[in-house]
Amino acid sequence: MNKCSVQLSWVLSAVLLATIFLFGIRWGTNILSKGPVYDEQYITVPIDNLIKYGWSVSTAINFEETKGPAMIWPYAIIGNFFGGTLNDLRLVSVWSSIFAAAFLAWLALLRSVRPKLIIWITLGWLLLPYNLIFSEIVMGEVSYLLLALMAVSAFVFGVGSPVNKSKWIAPTLYCIALALALHSRIHVVAVAGAVCLTAFGLQGKSSWPWWLATFVAGLLRIPLWYHWGGLVSPQYQALHGLGFRLESLSYLAAAMVPFVGIFALEGWRRVKARPSIMMAFIVGFFLVIIAMPDLYVPETIDLTANNSRFQGIAATLVKKISSELLVQQITLALLAGLGLSGLIGLWHCRDKATLLTSLTFWSMLLGWSLYALTRGFVFDRFLLTWAFLLPILWVQLLPRGLRCVQYAGLAFIAAYLAAIWLN
């Protein structure tokens, strides 16, 4: 078998594993008998309107949701083809996750990851915090991740191929995928910034096609911003908008632990990395001391108010440990220190996988930093929009012992969330 045939066989193995796993969860849990969960009661409204009332400016553009048309339209088209019910729409998420696993496997093979490790990478994809749950329900993350992986795949293919073969094709494909992702959710801005910084680090001035492609994709998002008058549709702009708040950084630093906390241990093995890892821990710890987020969650959502909600794995863990505010603050501070030190530890491990590590590090750092300029809701799951390459890095950068620890922790989180939302 030639190299392409071998790669195709391993990509198909990733697809097969993801298919068996996700359909097993779909049929083996109670999700098919459950009504709307998570944000499905909101997200499915514009999708159902498109299916029920047809396509018009009112239904296709002037809908009220935090997601963009690139999320709403495919669910309406493909979901209607399946039948149009809630469970039919959920099937779109299942297949989006399966195709995303295929792109992730292809990316790994492009970066010369040993083919036998593809199974580990696919398992890591399924166990990414929240990904398993969102792969089974109608949420914006999974279809967005597929678009983001398409954009990153075009970039990785372009920088790894001879210039004469990909000088224009790869940046053009990247631009198209990025523009679509921008019309799904604005979080991809951090990924675009990571692509530009990584390209400049690798190619210097010759990286200009990637900067140009990113700029063009950004311009294509402006008409929707102008039409809506903000980052999201008018009704939800009080929940997601621009502002300044350090508490967002405090909380997201703590929320990084399940994603990159393990790299604090791996990075510590490098003596030169220890001072910066210690400094990152101190920054994260005192960031929470200075700007402690309010973990109280109101029972209702006021769409007209500037709601401040910090919800997810980190908040749940902290509140389960203690109801005392001081203990909660110290616990969250320790988590924030570990989260930032893990991110810095990831950077110091980049010698084993320079390109993908740089993309992930810059995506998470830029995404985290940009949340200092936002107001409204902050959820742990937002980190998933920048951390989708981590399954490859867990395999490439971590020794077997730490990888098993990481996967065990991820499996526990996935089982816990599945028990809550899918049963």
Q: Give the per-residue pLDDT at 199.
A: 95
Q: Give the per-residue pLDDT at 132.
A: 96
User: What is the radius of gyration, based on Cα positions, of the chain?
Assistant: 21
Q: Give the per-residue pLDDT at 246.
A: 93
pLDDT tens-digit series, residues 28-86? 999 999 999 988 999 999 999 999 999 999 999 998 888 899 999 999 999 999 999 99
Residue 386, Cα to own-chain centre: how many angstroms? 4
Q: How far apart are CA 45 and CA 47, in angstroms?
A: 5
pLDDT tens-digit series, residues 356-367? 999 999 999 999
Pick the closest to residue 89 from 117, 51, 115, 120 (CA basis): 51
Q: Give the per-residue pLDDT at 23.
A: 97
Q: What is the DSSP letter of 312?
A: S
Q: Give the per-residue pLDDT at 305.
A: 59
CB hemisphere CA count around 152 (13 angstroms):
34
Q: Give the per-residue pLDDT at 133.
A: 96
Q: Give the per-residue pLDDT at 377.
A: 86
Q: Give the per-residue pLDDT at 304.
A: 56
Enumerate residues 6+ apart whose C-beta is below 8 A from 176. Answer: 217
Alpha-carbon distances of 415 from 121, 275, 315, 421, rounded to whole Å: 18, 36, 18, 10
Which residue positions in the chain have pLDDT lower than 70? 1-3, 161-166, 241, 300-307
Pick the closest to residue 140 from 232, 266, 213 (CA basis): 232
End-to-end, the C-alpha distance of the chain in Å comes to: 44
Task: Say if strands 374-376 and 378-379 run parallel, antiparallel, or are unpaired.
Answer: unpaired
Task: Say if strands 374-376 and 240-242 run parallel, antiparallel, or are unpaired.
Answer: antiparallel
Q: How far apart are CA 336 and CA 314, in angstroms?
A: 10
Residue 169 contacts residue 129 (beta carbons within 8 Å): no
Pick the closest to residue 248 from 369, 407, 107 (CA basis): 369
Residue 63 contacts residue 49 (beta carbons within 8 Å): yes
pTM of the model: 0.94
Q: Does residue 140 sit in helix, strand or coil?
A: helix
Q: How far apart are CA 97 and CA 391, in angstroms?
A: 14
Q: Give the per-residue pLDDT at 416.
A: 95
Residue 421, Cα to own-chain centre: how many angstroms? 19
